[in-house]
Amino acid sequence: MDDGIDYLHPDLFNNFNADASFDFSSNDAYPYPRYTDDWFNSHGTRCAGEIAAARDGKGAVGVAYNSKIAGLRMLDQPYMTDIIEAQSMGYRQDLVDIYSASWGPTDDGKTCDGPRKLTMRAIVQGVNEGRRGKGSIYVWASGDGGPADDCNCDGYAASMWTISINSVTNDGETAGYDESCSSTLASTFSNGKAGYEDAGVATTDLFGNVTTKHSGTSAAAPEAAGVFALALEANPDLTWRDMQHIVVLTSKRNQLHDNTLKHPWQLNGAGLEFNHLFGYGVLDAGAMVDLAIDWQTVPERFHCEITTENINKEFDGNNPVLVEVSTSGCEGQDNQVNYLEHVQVFVTVNASRRGNIVMFLTSPMGTRSMILSKRPKDDDSLEGFTKWPFMTTHSWAEKPKGTWSLQVMLSADESQESGILRDFSLVLHGSATSPYLPQTGGQDNMKLQVAKSLHRKQEM
């Protein structure tokens, strides 16, 4: 889903699927990029090559070079509409397995936006009905707003229905454009340090060319889409949730590190290591394929909601608000959740400067997620957040029962800065039975074995 694909490119031509392609900008079946003197509309072609450029010796080679690629040209518009986005997200869900998106709200550190009603409906329909009921896979770039932005303010990347991918440089460090947030699931490699000859990602370019300068999380997300295609080739029966579980269990820490030292690696209550920047680590294609081969479909997903109303507590830089709620995970009900996947926090909060709001969610097993970081460029003082769905993946595989705490504060200590937490709802997503105990494969996967051991003790 981008600005078009040069499907005449010799590295893409044989892998191009015309039946699954469409041009929503010109309303025809030919999603070829619109020509500009500066090659501005090369973005989609570059992303497509990372995924499916053929292994024929002519230029770039895609991660999943035997896969078919479809082009949905929808970005090259005077302005974007909910209808165009929704049509793209839902186009030929019977033919498209994976939708890759390297775009989102403006990365200016002050915008807070996400999918509208029709687009959200199309995504939900995709995960419920796409791929003949197994669920469409939506891959999203986490964004290039840098440390002054937070990808939990991007409603596309922060959605539980999408797999949000961040990027790391060729030496395992944080890229200067990386946003951080608790909804990022994993990372892949993108452009390296400035000044290196190989500082970009090699891929297809317009008019049969090849570039070595593709960059940003725009380059990271298609790499992930290619890896997911390999996993589906190994096991076509994987559901959209299976894919996310396998990502969590196979992503690697390796030498990934935050060079600012702000975001250390941590262990959650299920023994899974995560990082606020990198999610559960960098994707390991071989490990994903190995685990996918014998993967048993995870149990049915349920959600348990805990609602608080009329909190109306004020806070400032010196006096944060701490609200605690207890839950049994809807024990004894049809929607009981015993093993967590995504956790959403729908928050209504206002402040004299929205960008100074910082929020943390702590699980009953002690995992502390920063669900909103400081955004110094966000000077909003009126809109705030109204039932905004902040999301964290950091409590994956944990037990939800017990006391959850939400801490809201202002990062500035000026006396004139103030805010008010009006209400929030906690929504726990997961399964009633362990998704890992039935797995017969993955004997060499230490993450899986650690989580299985914990779940086995909990079910005794």
Active site (annotated) includes residue 218: yes
Q: What is the DSSP letter of 287?
A: H
Nearest C-alpha neighbor of 88 from the set 119, 44, 43, 117: 119
Amino acid symbol at 256? L
| 438 φ/ψ angles, rounded to the nearest 5 degrees | -75, -10
Residue 392, strand partner residues: 343
> Residue 105 half-sphere exposure, CB side, CA atoms within 13 Å?
20
Q: Cα 276–280–282 angle (5° rounding)? A: 105
Q: How far is residue 321 CA from its own chain's centroid?
A: 28
Nearest C-alpha neighbor of 345 from the set 388, 384, 386: 388
**CB contact at 8 A, 401 and 269:** no
**CB contact at 8 A, 70 and 241:** no
**CB contact at 8 A, 324 and 405:** yes
Q: Is 382 exposed, middle or buried (0-12, 13-18, 19+ CB in 10 A)?
A: exposed
Active site (annotated) includes residue 23: no
Q: Which of 218, 251, 373, 434 is catalytic?
A: 218
Active site (annotated) includes residue 2: yes
Task: Count Cβ atoms below 10 Å from residue 255 Cβ, excluding itself.
Answer: 10
Q: Which of 11, 25, 43, 431 is catalytic?
A: 43
Name the residue with tokens 């190995």.
290
**CB contact at 8 A, 238 and 134:** yes
Give dist(CA 316, CA 18) in Å, integer: 56
Task: Count Cβ atoms below 10 Å from residue 316 Cβ, excluding itself.
Answer: 20
At residue 97, the 3 state secondary structure works out as coil
| 392 φ/ψ angles, rounded to the nearest 5 degrees | -130, 140
Sign of CA dihedral 252, 255, 259, 265: positive
Q: The tokens of 227 are what? A: 């890896």
Please enumerate in sequence order all residues whose Cβ is within 8 A of that of 27, keeping only pairs 6 or more positions apart, or say none: none
Active-site residue list: 2, 43, 218
